[in-house]
Structure 1
């Protein structure tokens, strides 16, 4: 008669190696009760055995040993101290294997019971069957000893790195189990070591990352990150989470564990070296998951990021504004600014859950003032990168940055800084301007002609375009100016001259980006396209555009688009006639035009507008010839 599990327990032969969702919902005591019950039945079957008595006794002895360890595991799971959670993932996996082997033991022992002659002939039991079973039971005993050892190590025994039989083909899983168990149950130093080890494993490859997530490693890492008693522990946890957060699904797992409000809280109320790691974590989560962008914005992460980025700048600004006021007054204003950094009311209700102690931000003020310049610089670099990733492709986040002192701060840092900080600030500005290009409300609110912030941003973008020797800085500044093309009045010709000059830049990417940006000034979507086109021609922009047509495919495409816009908007210009546009059109490969549908309409329009003013018969013939 088949053995039935107790109510509420699934038969173990239905279990897979990874516990199912239903099994995960059961308490660990219920999971362990089934193999314990089977062990009692094995003990009865040993007493009833008539054949292979010695082998049956050996099986009963090993199963009894397993039963004792299972009961010890139940006691451990119910006796954890306050504030310490019991990590049961490895125990669930091992219990499933143990149950399977005890089931096989019970089935084999029943075959050794007295039966009729016919049943004994049909059911044959051999010594090989017992040898195989005893081998499985030995493995289960070793697995149970190992899993008990990692739980006992939480009392101060350190991290266990031995290899249980269940993980003989995949040692990574046992290491992950051991490290996560230490995060749950270890002493503080063990937790720091375990977090660092998980960070190292996660850095190695994506498979390790996935194992850590599947084995529930995110929750204890977030708990360690929230523990403000040890900056080293927070840094170790942030590093591990950072190495995990390079994939949309894994970032979503961090979000599902309510990680975003914890991260925002730690960012606003931690020493500077912790903030460096947490800002880095915000950046990579926002980079790899659009949902993270939204959740971070909901928890108002932009406010602390901008404040940390602009702290020194605002202090200088305050000193200028307060004039002859006392230093004490300046310090008081500074304290008020710091308090506003971490106001819990800006986020969702979740942020209120972590608001206890949120006014402690001022506790780290003196530490920040005494930090080394390179530490302050690193924090600014990471905060700027986080703002960049939050703004990328997001109109709401770009709006939030502009609603703070973000634009002024970014412009000031572009002016005064070099290297990565300057680049990250430029990229943030570029993303904000790209959002403004696609959203008229943001464009009108943040980039008004008379706005000091907008003027400061444009001044610095033009300075970078004119003075920088670094192509990547030039390209980001050129793109940002192009995105703002619809905000400049016709009289604002100072932005077009520098762009035209970049058309002749030795770096092909820079020249191409200049053509793209100028194309936004001259395209029909721009209300002032005719005026801007005339200005481009006046600044001698036609010859360098024509030279772009001889470069690579990307440069040729955008050079053609720009020259067509110029011909359509200012076909009367003699510069266009002298530049030899028609021969250039004649030399364009038909296959190239077929690959870019926009050219099929633009080139005939350009020829037509030129024909109105210059050698009509020649242009008409070419127009007939180039019917696409």
Structure 2
């Protein structure tokens, strides 16, 4: 318990106590009457240790004074006290042990020696411990008192306290330099070293976070005028953010506002690494996604993703495309929208005037981005698309913000024009937005209205990907899932989305075929108001034969094929196609099979069988032939 109390003291109190203790020990050694030689050796080491403690106290005091008088400097900071606390705490333990030992030597005589049971072995142990503390203090002073008289320097030698765990001393040295380094190159080198350590294993990550590595890295990311320093800091933070708990610790250190600010204000190569950090944090921690939403992280991401893209305003496109006379209601609505756009424009202009200096910085970086080589632009877009993907995952607020900007149009344009990883990331972003819209009626109605030009553009590109012969299975699956999630937004006449899904039931890739069955199941599910019309469309597009073939696939595929077949049986039970395909026999065989275990089929399968029996009872006396 005493140790916990001591840890709660400020660093000055820790050092003052250790200096006072060293003076007591030295004085007790001078007053010894037995083991004088041994006590003299103890006194000499304690004297050297006391002087080192005083030097550290002076450094701490001067650092605090510099921090309070030069708070505007980006390089000045309070002293990094983690290694000081650990080393001074260990020195205090060793001084207390030495003090207890020398106090036993105040009186001479054989009887006193016998009663106190003091031996030369005790002194050897005490001297070894004091030597270890002296080594720790020398290392500490070498880190904090650089040759030029200010800041810190990287020291890779090991103090005795870290002899069995060298990573600890390296982390101390690197973090001290990042927080207190006198030169920017040293701070960059230390940040890169921390990034390398964090990449090695989880234990290193834990040590870096426990030893206070996050705040100095965030300070370097936020305040440094050097892109190299910002990239190094962002890389280290990205390597640390590999699970939810560590991301929470980064977020608690107020990282999210800093990350969003740097993303908006920095050169392209910094933005690439910061967007990667944002994607990592959003992927690992759902709470961070919502914090990014509150900081409006979506807008700069969409802006960066749309570099070199010409996105026509949906309202202008609608007006241009329309060839019919406009109704009075439409005119009123357009006037309202134009008035709102004007108000937003005025507000935006006022905001620009109030932050003119910041705007000039953004304009400068925008010009730099426009002049970047295509490879850098592509990498920036890829990381921004990945960040949007992770932010949209399960988040209504982020998905809504993407759809409220020109995000959907931007995603559709990239899916149309690009290839590879950028296109895939944009497809995955659309898939996550659609998945959120599936469970949120307000977002679904607002973003994916039938007459919405952005929504129509996205759907067109999704269908294009599904149709493409060269599309990878992963891209086809993302597009199919997106269409399935939006099943309740399509009217009965929108059969163009049904045909490509039916065609994919015959895909040679089992995963693609299964996802097509899942998506069609959402169209024909009783939860879909138009399930009857969609079920008829599936049968009209000759979906039954490939569906029956899927029943012979592996169990995972078979379950989803059975669910779709049950829906078709419920809604179009009098279909000749189902009768000719012997759907009733197939369902009866599935009902008797113990291998088909799925909660949805427990009640659905008997209902589908009963419904088909009303129309097809006795139609096929040799139903068992389906098994062959």
SS of 1:179 mapped into structure 2: helix
* Whole-Å separation in 2 of the counterparts to 1:268 and 1:293: 17
What is residue 580 of structure 1 aligned with on the other side? 582
SS of 1:112 mapped into structure 2: coil
SS of 2:516 mapped into structure 1: helix
What is residue 62 of structure 2 aligned with on the other side? 79
* Whole-Å separation in 2 of the counterparts to 1:291 and 1:587: 47
* Whole-Å separation in 1 of the counterparts to 2:275 and 2:362: 16
1:211 partnered with 2:211: no
* Whole-Å separation in 2 of the counterparts to 1:466 and 1:296: 36
Shift of 1:615: 2.1
What is residue 462 of structure 1 aligned with on the other side? 463
Equivalent residues of 1:414, 1:422 under 8 A apart: yes
> Alpha carbons of 1:91 and 1:371: their partners in 2 closer, same or farther (altered >3 Å)?
same
* Whole-Å separation in 1 of the counterparts to 2:280 and 2:311: 29
Equivalent residues of 1:518, 1:562 under 8 A apart: yes
What is residue 27 of structure 1 aligned with on the other side? 10
In the TM superposition, what are the counterparts of 1:320-359 in structure 2 within 5 Å? 357=358
What is residue 145 of structure 1 aligned with on the other side? 138
Q: What is the TM-score with the length of structure 2 in the denominator?
A: 0.88
What is residue 172 of structure 2 aligned with on the other side? 177
* Whole-Å separation in 2 of the counterparts to 1:527 and 1:604: 22
Q: Which moved more, 1:299-308 or 1:575-584?
A: 575-584
Deviations 1:302-335 (A, max 9, x none): 01001111132247879x99x9xxxxxxxxxxxx
Q: Which moved more, 1:360-369 or 1:86-95?
A: 360-369
What is residue 257 of structure 1 aligned with on the other side? 253
In the TM superposition, what are the counterparts of 1:444-593 in structure 2 within 5 Å? 444-467=445-468, 468-588=470-590, 590-593=593-596
SS of 2:307 mapped into structure 1: helix
* Whole-Å separation in 1 of the counterparts to 2:91 and 2:179: 24
1:605 partnered with 2:607: yes
Q: 2:33 aligns with which of 39, 50, 55?
A: 50
Shift of 1:253: 1.2
Extract unaligned runs of 5+ from structure 2.
Answer: 71-75, 321-343
* Whole-Å separation in 2 of the counterparts to 1:167 and 1:514: 58
Equivalent residues of 1:304, 1:342 under 8 A apart: no
* Whole-Å separation in 2 of the counterparts to 1:286 and 1:229: 26
* Whole-Å separation in 2 of the counterparts to 1:157 and 1:289: 35
Deviations 1:17-46 (A, max 9, x none): xxx4x5554221101111111111112211
* Whole-Å separation in 2 of the counterparts to 1:366 and 1:566: 57
Deviations 1:443-482 (A, max 9, x none): 0000000000110010000000001430000000000000
Equivalent residues of 2:524, 2:568 under 8 A apart: yes
* Whole-Å separation in 2 of the counterparts to 1:168 and 1:61: 24
Deviations 1:370-401 (A, max 9, x none): 10011011111111100000000111111111
In the TM superposition, what are the counterparts of 1:299-318 in structure 2 within 5 Å? 299-314=295-310
In the TM superposition, what are the counterparts of 1:347-426 in structure 2 within 5 Å? 357=358, 360-426=361-427
1:201 partnered with 2:197: yes
Deviations 1:565-606 (A, max 9, x none): 00011000011011122332343363234x312212111111
* Whole-Å separation in 2 of the counterparts to 1:200 and 1:425: 30
What is residue 327 of structure 2 aligned with on the other side? none
Equivalent residues of 1:228, 1:270 under 8 A apart: no
SS of 2:559 mapped into structure 1: helix
* Whole-Å separation in 1 of the counterparts to 2:493 and 2:152: 75
Equivalent residues of 1:272, 1:368 under 8 A apart: yes
Deviations 1:241-261 (A, max 9, x none): 000011111111111111111
What is residue 85 of structure 2 aligned with on the other side? 92
* Whole-Å separation in 2 of the counterparts to 1:207 and 1:478: 41
Shift of 1:616: 5.4
Equivalent residues of 1:307, 1:341 under 8 A apart: no
1:127 partnered with 2:110: no
1:291 partnered with 2:287: yes
* Whole-Å separation in 2 of the counterparts to 1:77 and 1:357: 36
What is residue 236 of structure 1 aligned with on the other side? 232
Q: 1:104 aligns with which of 75, 91, 97?
A: 97
Superposed CA RMSD? 2.6
Equivalent residues of 1:342, 1:359 under 8 A apart: no
Q: Which moved more, 1:358-367 or 1:601-610?
A: 358-367
SS of 2:579 mapped into structure 1: helix
* Whole-Å separation in 2 of the counterparts to 1:314 and 1:32: 63
* Whole-Å separation in 1 of the counterparts to 2:435 and 2:360: 36
1:159 partnered with 2:154: yes
Shift of 1:344: 10
Equivalent residues of 1:565, 1:606 under 8 A apart: yes
1:114 partnered with 2:107: yes
Between the two proteins, the alignment pairs up a number of residues equal to: 581
Deviations 1:506-561 (A, max 9, x none): 00000000000000000000000010001000101011111111111110000000
> Alpha carbons of 1:435 and 1:371: their partners in 2 closer, same or farther (altered >3 Å)?
same
Equivalent residues of 2:151, 2:180 under 8 A apart: no
Equivalent residues of 2:30, 2:43 under 8 A apart: no
* Whole-Å separation in 1 of the counterparts to 2:524 and 2:267: 50
* Whole-Å separation in 2 of the counterparts to 1:466 and 1:618: 37
Extract unaligned runs of 5+ from structure 1.
Answer: 1-9, 324-335, 346-351, 623-628
SS of 2:195 mapped into structure 1: helix
> Alpha carbons of 1:355 and 1:38: their partners in 2 closer, same or farther (altered >3 Å)?
farther
Shift of 1:86: 0.8
Equivalent residues of 2:152, 2:177 under 8 A apart: no
* Whole-Å separation in 2 of the counterparts to 1:224 and 1:495: 51
* Whole-Å separation in 2 of the counterparts to 1:401 and 1:170: 47
